[in-house]
Structure 1
């Protein structure tokens, strides 16, 4: 459940809105009753004035015989407007009177009803609007600012607690780190003020050091922080200038996302924000509250991410399957998304040139005479080719497999029919478990799966259900919090056929309550023109009980066939999933001297082939940001090790599908693959 967010307007009121347990003073009660009387008196006076005006116009129109037709038309028009106005006044009166009780005075509601009006949230108003003002329009523009937030000195997971008294005996390094965090928190608060994030203006810049900023683990592409307000906000000032006895309500916590240095190669941020707005209209995932050049603020959920082990718990797996079905059915693809085909193909095409730059340089380094001497201090040199083979061999294998996949699935046009809006990155860190209160509706058996919240839609777009399943099942094999090998794939943890069957069955039989859900089955079924379930007909055939039994058997057989079909599709698309994430890791890699080496290769290539477009080559080089020297490399995820391990999964599947011969691959790699192969 989203964190509680104040619905207070940016207008400063003389008196705070009262809670249900508060008792208003006599002065407050008199003031509110007086206001109520004034509104009612104005309403009655306005109705009398409009009726008199209507009568005078009707009388004037009746005496203008020479302009009968014109007057009649004008009278009709005026009558229409007057009727609309009178209707509006009647509606206002009805709103006022609906709160009147048996103890009302002169048709006015008692004090309790007035209090209810002040607490009432306007219908359709969303919790936690993106600025100090309440937005009633869910399509309101997300505020943005041209600012860059530097987090290069605050990549540690600790250090962002509220400011404490400095220890005089602390080292200069700790002191420097504390100063970096204070600067970071000050800039966060300055951004929150500029973006007018709701409630955060009550936190003054002098209190920035008392904020709590905690970096979360598990984010692979971005640095993620939870930003909390100071624990003890100074109380507001009264009209007399003294401190109020009523404490301030703290602003809501924020989720701060700062984009990684290599994401320009991976993610189209503008398209991502468009997708998040579409999800927001369906109340799926967290809302974006404000953006800046290299990140954004999001709604914060009081929840915890799942763990790697929880993915394999049967009940949790079923809940994930239901949530997946709701996403696929709840968000309709745009026409251009469906026509563009699977996003996995687009990702590969977008990343492949950068992959070629990186792996070509890496392969050259491995083949150089200096490699052995440097291998002692650079582990990646000891592991061999990132893709298991030279880059050219790997790229050719992906191209051949992709052509085979298209043919196996009936061609590009048939694949487009099966596309759904997929998350494409359902690893355990992107699945949050809400921890509802004792009386929460989320505790009802029918709603338990809604305790799961899906976040991080950076890679979301059109893909097939088979690809989505393959991506999720492969994530069962990873523990990104492993202290020694967070990049490693433990293929023994891949779900066995029985687990896959249960997951897909839950997905297919779940009927989400969404506007565009089809009662006829999944997009995969519609795309294949699957046979419809036979309706029950009591007018012919065998006895009803027997016929019902036959129908149920037919339905079970149809469901079983669809489950096995999607499991087969999962097997086919798993290869492309591995190829994509292999490329993803290569694009993310940061190796000392790599950027300079790639630039030298590009210069040598231009000199050897002057006909190449120099401007294009320079633009490609400019897109590669340099690595910040202050980043602690010990905390960096080993993307090259991840890519190499994922490439072995790729080759294992190609061997199992007989799309490559063992003689075409290095013998040691084939032995390693066979020891960890997943044949299902």
Structure 2
């Protein structure tokens, strides 16, 4: 049975988790008492329940903090958990993200990073945006022990089938699921033809909540690798741009404001900073090409996360209006397809 926020805050936790916390505390030389644990639920997560847990150490006025992630219901439909853990461990050994401290049946315990998670407004700060662009390029250039095959299109088709299996007839009609396979095929063919595209290790979920910053050192950390895989880097950048329409820390976290999607100048600036480095200054033609590719991949993002929303609406019980979120993503797909590809939309 999944742990709910109310149960967790009241101390009704899996025994495996408590055993793991006691073991960690013992290894660190801490005398941990369940009654003095300080628990904080982190808002903004749409797949998992995330908490920080703190307790006093033997050092006066000092405390220890870890992060506990309770897996959401039905997430195994989206990705392979064992593969995600392998990615997590591999990135940790290379100095990316937190360390994995332990696992239990319903989740895991991670190192707590002493940095703050970005806010929605941070993404629009030119200085922060430049740091994100540089870190993202570094992330894309990682050589990971995973299949180098593009996973995007096969994953979308898999999710489409899952959505069809779960959906009521009403929802299947509303979201035009019988037509989505044609749209995926259209995008795959239309985007893939022409200029060769760079493939890199992509995060695939670059919302502000998955990016942290140390305000003292200005060091950026990208966290949460559940959807990470090799994909066209333009797709990952498109995902980041689409996420600028979201604010998951409001009373209506599912509502997307596409008026906040970055304008051309802002997109060009990000991509210029992404492409530039000490040994290479991007040409305008290079920037323009990637800007164009990114815009096309926003359409793939809308279908990808639209399908995610439909499936999540049936299998996940976190307080988030997944179906309305899905409606907005598909609405944007149909609105933007004509302008990007200059084709008639039915």
TM-score by length of 1: 0.48
What is the DSSP-based 3-state SS (H/G/I as helix, E as strand, rest coil) of the residue aligned with 1:400? Answer: helix
Give the corresponding residue for 1:470: 238
Give the corresponding residue for 2:326: 643
Q: Within the alignment, does 1:583 sit opposite 2:266 as a pair?
A: no
Give the corresponding residue for 2:137: 325
In 2, are the aligned partners of 1:471 and 1:577 still within 8 Å (CA)? yes
How far did 1:248 drift?
A: 6.9
2:44 is aligned, of 205, 218, 231, to 218
d(CA) in 1 for partners of 2:11, 2:328: 39
1:345 is aligned, of 134, 153, 165, to 153
Structure 1's unaligned 5+ residue stretches are 1-147, 161-180, 236-246, 367-384, 437-441, 443-447, 512-518, 522-554, 591-624, 665-680
Give the corresponding residue for 1:209: 35
d(CA) in 2 for partners of 1:201, 1:351: 46
In 1, are the aligned partners of 2:20 and 2:102 still within 8 Å (CA)? no
Give the corresponding residue for 1:487: 254
How far did 1:281 drift?
A: 2.2
Give the corresponding residue for 2:79: 267
d(CA) in 2 for partners of 1:216, 1:481: 10
Give the corresponding residue for 1:661: 344
TM-score by length of 2: 0.90
What is the DSSP-based 3-state SS (H/G/I as helix, E as strand, rest coil) of the residue aligned with 2:116? Answer: strand
CA RMSD, 1 decimal: 2.6
Distance 1:349 1:393, change over 3 A: closer
d(CA) in 2 for partners of 1:463, 1:197: 40
Q: Which has the higher contact order (CA 8 A, sep 6+)?
A: 2
In 2, are the aligned partners of 1:351 and 1:583 still within 8 Å (CA)? yes
The count of aligned residue pairs is 346
What is the DSSP-based 3-state SS (H/G/I as helix, E as strand, rest coil) of the residue aligned with 2:87? Answer: helix
1:498 is aligned, of 258, 265, 278, to 265
Distance 1:319 1:188, change over 3 A: same
d(CA) in 1 for partners of 2:342, 2:187: 7
d(CA) in 2 for partners of 1:572, 1:360: 30
Give the corresponding residue for 1:429: 209
What is the DSSP-based 3-state SS (H/G/I as helix, E as strand, rest coil) of the residue aligned with 1:651? Answer: helix
In 2, are the aligned partners of 1:199 and 1:252 still within 8 Å (CA)? no
d(CA) in 2 for partners of 1:486, 1:216: 14
State which structure, 1 or 2, has the greater radius of gyration over its C-alpha atoms.
1
What is the correspondence of 1:189-208 to structure 2 with a 5 Å cutoff? 189-194=18-23, 196=24, 199=27, 202-204=30-32, 207-208=33-34
Distance 1:183 1:399, change over 3 A: same
1:566 is aligned, of 290, 306, 330, to 290
How far did 1:188 drift?
A: 3.5
Give the corresponding residue for 2:226: 458
Structure 2's unaligned 5+ residue stretches are none
Give the corresponding residue for 2:163: 355
